[in-house]
Amino acid sequence: MDLVISISLLLAGFTILIFAGDALVKAAVSISARTKIDPATIGLTVIAAGTSAPELVTSLLAAFKNSPDIALGNVVGSNIFNILAIIGIASFIKPNKISTQSLRIELPFLIFSAIFLFILGQDLIFSRIDGSIMLMVLGLFLVYTIRAAKKRGIDTDLEDEIEILKSPLYDGLYLIVGFVGLIGGADLALRGGVQIGEYIGLSERIIGITIISVGTGLPELVTSAVAAYKGRDDIAISNVIGSNIMNTLAIIGTTSLVLPISASEQIMNFDVYWMIAASVILLPLFYITKRVSNRPTAGLLLGIYLTYIAILILN
């Protein structure tokens, strides 16, 4: 009976996270559309921030509940899941083409942020100073990205591309509903996930990297899958790249700024290697396929993800 309750809590939490994340993304996109920012940049920044909000709330709650392996493992696991599983699934649905800007600027910055996380975590602690540096680096990147987008201008009419809510009042209401839902959903998912993991004998590291990270990655999965189905390559791929940048710098940065996070050697010396490798592999892959992520690419990425999960289970 206890296991049934735990599973119910986990599923309820994930369901709330999906709807809350969707509300937050709609509000964020609507607000950005009113400022006339192009869809690709919205996918890289605003949508990415909105779909990363579940990870942020979950990692903060985990840190406050003295579960640092879940706080860090949630981010590392989500980043691996985002690249290998989400881009894989989105590419299986329909081939996706990455923009030249993303290939030359954002993807290399994603690789840099992953390596930067590894370097800062070598002392096995993410301090408030580390968090401040990460947030400062992210801020500089976002300023550059938005300014570059303003210079490029908009190729299409945003009203035809993305949904703008009826009025700024609706924007505010969706934001409130989204944030409240994220807090409640993350708390339920965290409780249920930890209970299930403990019941079957998983460590907090494995719980964070698998159960929690996949659950908090559902908003990114839904967003990229729908964008791919609608032929919106600019949002499908840029959402994942942006989410991983946000996960790495914003979530770990904010969490460690609020409360320093201790990092286990297993996460830093195994899982982070996989996160870096998953980020790096995209660069030559997109060059080889001429910026197109197709079904063979999907098979490769999903195969690597299943291999990683199999290694975790076997160990």
pLDDT, tens digit, for every residue of 74-85? 999 999 999 999
Q: What is the pLDDT of residue 301?
A: 94
If you write DSSP's letter for every residue of 108-124 in order, what string do you get? HHHHHHHHHHHHHGGGS
What are the φ/ψ torsions at residue 98 (nearest 5 degrees)? -85, 145
Most confident of 5-14, 97-106, 124-133, 242-251: 124-133
| pLDDT above 50: residue 159 | no
Q: Of 141, 171, 175, 176, give the one whose Cα is nearest residue 246.
A: 141
pLDDT tens digits, 43-77: 566 667 766 777 888 898 888 889 899 999 999 99
Total domains in the chain come to: 1
299 CB contacts (<8 Å, ≥6 apart)? 88, 92
94 CB contacts (<8 Å, ≥6 apart)? 228, 229, 231
| pLDDT above 60: residue 157 | no
> In which domain, by residue range, is 37 found?
2-314
CATH code assigned at 41: 1.20.1420.30
Decide the pairing of beta strands 292-293 and 96-97.
antiparallel
Whether 101 contacts 40, CB under 8 Å: yes
Q: What long-range pairs does 218-222 form, CB within 8 A, spacing at least 24?
A: 218/14, 218/17, 218/18, 218/21, 218/54, 219/17, 219/18, 219/21, 219/22, 219/25, 219/50, 219/51, 219/53, 219/54, 220/51, 220/52, 220/78, 220/82, 220/86, 221/85, 221/86, 221/89, 222/18, 222/22
User: In the chain, count of helices (H) and strands (E)?
Assistant: 18, 4
Distance CA 22, CA 95 (A): 24
Q: What is the pLDDT of residue 95?
A: 83
Q: Of 148, 168, 149, give the one whose Cα is nearest residue 31.
A: 168
If you write DSSP's letter for every residue of 133-180 in order, what string do you get? HHHHHHHHHHHHHHHHHHHH--SS-HHHHS---SSHHHHHHHHHHHHH
Sheet strands (E) in the chain? 96-97, 125-126, 261-262, 292-293
pLDDT tens digits, 268-298: 999 999 999 999 999 998 888 888 888 888 8
Q: Which amino acid is at 284?
A: P
Identify the residue with better confidence: 238 or 300. Answer: 300
